[in-house]
Amino acid sequence: MQTSQEKLKVSVCGQIIECDRGENLRKLLLKHGIPLYNGNSQFINCRGLGSCGTCAVAIEGEVSEPNWKDRGRRSLPPHSPDKNLRLACQTKVLGDIKVTKYQGFWGHKDQIQW
């Protein structure tokens, strides 16, 4: 268990970003210049409201449980509730994690983007 003063480590795009427990993953990635959105979704997205699904990423490690916005949006095409993705905008970092982004407007394809 990590103390409240220890920084958590987020492995993403070949780098390690440190953050506080409970930090919003979308805000953290954008703050550090990580290209969270593929193609035109960088211009056409819901800005963190959880309604568009373009910030979907695969996460290994401890994060918050999916809320109703996350579960709801990922239950609609082109996403699938069976796929191991989360909406970065609705996810809080709770431990050290590794983040992977997949190709496609919604980050829903099988090929890794980063």
Helix, strand and coil in the chain, % to nearest 5: 20, 30, 55
Residue 29 lies in a domain: yes
Residue 1 lies in a domain: no
Q: Which domain holds residue 13?
A: 8-100
User: Which residues in the chain land under pLDDT 50?
Assistant: none
Give the predicted TM-score (pTM) of the model: 0.92
Residue 3 lies in a domain: no
Note the pLDDT tens digit of each residue in 91-111: 999 999 999 999 999 999 999
Residue 64 lies in a domain: yes
Which residues, 6 or more positions from 109, have their beta carbon under 8 angstroms from its beta carbon?
102, 103
pLDDT of residue 7: 96
Number of folded domains in the chain? 1
Residue 93 lies in a domain: yes
